Amino acid sequence: MAGARGGGGGAETSSSAAGGVTFAPPLLTPARLDEARGLAKAEKSWAEAERLLAAMVGAEAAGEEEVRVKEAAVGVYGDVLVSLGKAEELALLLERLRPFFDAVSKAKTAKLVRNIIDQVSRIPGTDALQIRLCVEVVAWCKEEKRTFLRQRVESRLAGLYIDTKEFAAALALVETLLREVKRLDDKLLLLEVHLTEARVHSALRDQPRAKAALAAARTAANAIYVPPVLQGTIDLQSGTLHADEHDYKTAYSYFFEALEQLSALDDPRAPACLKYMLLCKIMQNEGGDVPAIVNGKIGMKYASHDGVEAMREVAAAHLKRDLKLLEEVVSRSSALLSDDAVVGVHLAELRSDLMEQNLSRLIEPYSTVEITHLASLINLPEKVVEAKLSQMILDKKLAGVLDQGTGWLIVFEDDDDAKGKAYPKVLNIIASMGNVVDALYARGSKLHA
């Protein structure tokens, strides 16, 4: 009996004892797909699920039903690889599937490609791999003239450039995309690109352009149905911009809206929204509300998240006005606090304000005090304290001078220089001396005449 291809990629097996030929059961069937899904749900069976799904993905699909089964198998296979942390295998999966893309529509191809890139992003520490993957997909799309998919992958690539702080590359890509998408009048993609543009300008601290990009995104959103994930992104970006303008009350409300949207979708950005809400409360000197928010209905879901826990410690240190404790928290959780693009900026302001308050309290009893003594009291390096005192004097938050020769801070009395009374008197004396000199010069001129 001649060998034949089994349905859905089945292969001929060895002969039976009776001399007949048996065939392996077809791979691309709903029953095998259900079997693979069952294995994928059990952690102990992930390896077995991977083997079965790898065979299904590698099998040749013939007919509409087998194509549908293979599409579903690709999604389940990707989830299993995510669970196993195999990012490289996921990246290779896209290359393996390129012949299969010829058998499905362009819309389904776009969905499969974007889904695999999303799955790679769920594995921590894969930013560089995601960028490489997106660049490869963009090159393939240009060869195959798949403009729709290329533009969406480029939008994703611009966001990755922002995450890796390659702002020049992100901005160049966004500007090119905006020109193309405006000609096509694709409102949904235009919304995504404007949001990416707002992110990059916000990261570059260019607030006017960030606000303009966000306004353009809202204009595009008014003309279409906005998916919840994009609405959550709009609210998140709005909260970020309001926080940059120190309007923490409005920023809090936007972060709350973003948290509700993204939490319902189990989006990985949801815990960050809660972290930013707590930041807004701390910046408003309302750190006492933090425990109630975290233990509330929506906060409980992310109460154990590292970023949220770190922000709770920041709130506790701020309530105690303990600068040393705050520095310890920031040092211990720098990846979650200082390295965060949103938290880092405001946390620096918080530390600066708290240092000013502590120094003002320590200086109050003295008219002259050694800087080394202040540094020992506040538990900070002497140069840091000296620099902060200089800044406070220049900002007119402290009336005094630094005598660097002796290492002393000389504080002016409240009823003299601190109130600005000495300087006008000095100016009057100088003016009077000028008048005397002018009078003497006039008399001397007459004598010579």
Supply the pLDDT for residue 348. 87
User: What is the C-alpha separation between 288 and 378, in angstroms, rounded?
Assistant: 24
User: What is the C-alpha separation between 261 and 412, in angstroms, rounded?
Assistant: 54
Other residues' Cβ atoms within 10 Å of the Cβ of residue 99? 9
Sequence-ordered strand ranges (E) for 289-425 = 368-370, 400-403, 408-411
- Judge residue 438's burial from the number of C-beta atoms within 10 Å of its C-beta, 0-12 exposed, 13-18 middle, 19 or more buried: exposed
Q: Cα torsion for 124, 126, 127, 128, to the nearest 10°?
A: 160
* Matching residue, tokens 């607030």: 207
Beta carbons within 8 Å of 70's beta carbon, 6+ residues apart: 28, 56, 57, 59, 61, 100
Write down the pTM of the prediction: 0.77
Containing 14, the helix (H) or strand (E) segment is: strand 12-15
DSSP state of 24: P
Which residue ranges in the chain fall short of pLDDT 70? 1-25, 414-422, 449
What confidence tens digit (pLDDT) does each residue in 352-375 have? Answer: 888 888 888 889 888 889 999 998
Supply the pLDDT for residue 4. 37
User: What is the C-alpha separation between 71 and 104, in angstroms, rounded?
Assistant: 9
Residues shown for the chain: 449
User: What is the C-alpha separation between 145 and 284, in angstroms, rounded?
Assistant: 52
Containing 191, the helix (H) or strand (E) segment is: helix 187-203
